[in-house]
Chain A
């Protein structure tokens, strides 16, 4: 799965948590979950659970703490996906 495919899947996961339709439409590596998408910080753990389910990976606490932007999140998903290979 390449970076664009991960971002596209991520966009679908995030959609229910954000009411910022324009920012969501233009989501890219630089998008910040809280600053740009105005996601309630309490919901970040729910997004991580949805990511785990979608990508069939497990995300540890240290990685979870870093998942505040699309860039960091894609990198973590990518590394977990490739960890088993």
Chain B
């Protein structure tokens, strides 16, 4: 059986605090928030009226779509995914395939939770108004879950697996693991992995109604998303997309590509909604097992993890997550790895969270830094009884390190953990 090493050779981002890699890198190093007040959420009477939304000008969007595509385009998730995906491909030094034959060795797994929710709403209203004929040809391609991977693959001419995965807030991390496995097993040379999530009231409304979002910071948006903080009172919804080109080491070396990091391995599982696991709460046994299996599959030891990029959404579950990491890794309060959460800066980007956070993780490994946690100067005592406060960086740490663990957990009691390693040209 084939067992290729898999490396990351391209990055693309469309995050609330940066829509290019340089802009995003600067933002995460300096703790710059992308959370802003949302007048539409206020007008609609949302409890949480702040959110994270990528800022893209019309001129920027026009670089990625034809005028015809733009005519009826009403799917923010597809826009974010295409921007991040095409940027990652370009960043990897890869070209579109020629006009006649696709690139059989390249594919994409680009996840999402829903697609084109604004387009879907428009279509439903037309149908209910007895105007079914007026839907035209653009509804299906924007509202099918796989719309984003279909748009990306068509633009790049990818001829390998083209699919969209969906596992709630674990979607982004899962897309990387699925892409990794396809390359590792020799079925593809290059896979564009990533995920996206729509913006706006119709995607965020359900979370607002579940009372899982904070309603205490509408007047101070940048302070609102508070993972690990004593004042954490729910997550701030976000949106955007992250994209990473995964490639076999052989392919990357053959074309002399820039290598950001190596994917050592990972694991995904479910708690089966058994024990204390439910539709919305993680089963700790499954989380711990997921972390341990990821480490095992990566061929490293538990103590080798230097940095954890957590799921850490700013709900009451943050302390439980840290307890799960601590038990899984068998660490003490003092030798626990550094841990950070990007959600303090960008909120919880739902199905895009995992991929955006993976892009941040790869940048940390590649550029020798650990980004600061923001809005947790008042770390929750439930957390400081588990780990030393100095494990939770409050300011940028400039430091070269080797191994980062990234985990994402999702509704449905699903878990994904990835192990990423600095690439040292060996």
A residues at B contact (CB < 8 Å): 16-17, 42-43, 45-46, 49
Chain A CB within 8 A of B30 CB: no
Query: How far is B136's CA from A48's CA once the two chains are assembled, in angstroms?
Result: 9
Chain B residues with CB under 8 A of A49: 133-134, 136
A46/B67 in contact, CB under 8 A: no
Closest B residue to A43 by CB, please name it.
B137
CA distance A46 to B138 in the complex (A): 9
User: Which residues of chain A have C-beta atoms less than 8 A from B67's C-beta?
Assistant: 16
Report the minimal beta-carbon distance from A58 to chain B, rounded to whole angstroms: 9
Q: In the docked arrangement, what's the CA distance between A73 and B134, Å?
A: 19
For the complex, would chain B's binding face be called helix, strand, loop or mixed by DSSP majority?
helix
Nearest-CB residue, chain A, relative to B140: A42
Complex-state Cα separation, A16 to B67, whole angstroms = 7
Q: Which residues from A are CB-within-8-Å of B138?
A: 46
Determine if B68 and A16 form an interchain contact, defined as CB atoms under 8 angstroms apart: yes
B255 interfacial contact with A, CB 8 Å: no
**Chain B residues with CB under 8 A of A16:** 67-68, 71
Report the separation of the CA atoms of residues A83 and B333 in the bound assembly, to the nearest whole angstrom. 84
* Residue ranges of B at the interface with A (Cβ–Cβ < 8 Å): 67-68, 71, 133-134, 136-138
- Would you call B68 and A45 a contact (CB within 8 A)? no
Q: Chain B contacts of A42 at CB under 8 A? A: 137
A78 CA / B121 CA spacing, docked (Å): 35
Q: How far is the CB of B150 from chain A (nearest CB, A)?
A: 12
With the chains together, A66 CA to B235 CA distance in Å? Answer: 54
Give Cα A45–Cα B140 distance, bound, in whole angstroms: 13
A-B contact pairs, 15 of them (CB 8 A): A16-B67, A16-B68, A16-B71, A17-B68, A42-B137, A43-B68, A43-B137, A45-B136, A45-B137, A46-B136, A46-B137, A46-B138, A49-B133, A49-B134, A49-B136
Q: Which 4 interchain pairs have the tightest Cβ spacing?
A: A42-B137, A46-B136, A16-B68, A46-B137
Q: How far is the CA of A42 from the CA of B133 in the complex (A)?
A: 14
Q: Give Cα A75–Cα B71 distance, bound, in whole angstroms.
A: 28
Cα–Cα, bound, A45→B136 (Å): 6
Q: Chain B residues near A43: list those with CB within 8 A.
A: 68, 137
What is the CA–CA distance of A60 and B134 in the complex, to the nearest angstrom? Answer: 13
Closest B residue by C-beta to A44? B137
Shortest CB distance A53–B (Å) = 10
Within the complex, the shortest CB–CB distance from A80 to chain B, in Å, comes to 15
- Residues of B near A45 (CB, < 8 A) are 136-137
**Closest CB-CB distance, A5 to chain B, in whole Å?**
25
Residue of B nearest to A59 (CB): B133
* Smallest beta-carbon distance B56→chain A, Å: 22
CB distance from A27 to the nearest CB of B (A): 18
Report the minimum CB–CB distance from A65 to chain B (whole Å): 14
Query: How many whole Å from A13's CB to the nearest CB in chain B?
Result: 12
- Measured between beta carbons, the chain A residues less than 8 angstroms from B134 are 49
| 4 more CB-based (< 8 A) A-B contacts, given A17-B68, A45-B136, A49-B133 | A43-B68, A45-B137, A46-B138, A49-B136
